[in-house]
């Protein structure tokens, strides 16, 4: 079974930090880009950050300078280090991975189940 499993969410005070992890497992041949999205209550899902297999990164303007995305190719894992958190960062965070499954040649976008981040005093 192919899946992405996120961890690291929780409750943090404004100005605090959290580190999210997302590990891909199963019959995956290769992974190209990986990324994080988030969805706050009553709002659409939005891009937070992405990282290519070569390490190129892209960030939403709202998180630039505060969040850092990284990946461990050997572990098929992507991370999101979140610093200087604000109440408006409160959301469910989802990871994704553009993956080629064993026996296939097409890229398939896999999604995790989401992890809740709450920033509140």
Mean pLDDT across the chain = 96
> What confidence score (pLDDT) does residue 1 get?
83
- Mean pLDDT, residues 24-39 taken together: 94
Does residue 114 register a pLDDT over 90?
yes
Give backbone dihedrals phi and psi of 13, rounded to 5 degrees, phi first: -80, 155
Residues 65-102: tens digit of each pLDDT: 999 999 999 999 999 999 999 999 999 999 999 998 99
Q: What average pLDDT score do residues 27-49 get?
A: 95
pLDDT score recorded for residue 59: 98
CB 120 within 8 A of CB 87: yes
- Count Cβ atoms within 10 A of the Cβ of residue 91 and give its class: 0-12 exposed, 13-18 middle, 19 or more buried: buried
């Amino acid at each position: 079974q192919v899946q992405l499993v996120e961890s690291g969410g929780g409750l943090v005070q404004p100005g605090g930090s959290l580190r999210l992890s997302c590990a891909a497992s199963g019959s995956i041949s290769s992974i190209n880009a990986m990324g994080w999205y988030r969805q706050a209550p009553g709002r659409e899902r939005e891009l937070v950050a992405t990282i290519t297999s070569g390490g190129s990164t892209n960030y939403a303007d709202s998180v630039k300078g505060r969040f850092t995305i990284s990946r461990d190719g050997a572990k098929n894992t992507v991370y999101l280090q979140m610093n200087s958190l604000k109440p408006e960062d409160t959301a469910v965070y989802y990871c994704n991975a553009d993956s080629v499954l064993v026996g296939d040649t097409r890229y398939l976008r896999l999604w995790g189940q989401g992890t809740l981040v709450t920033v509140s005093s």
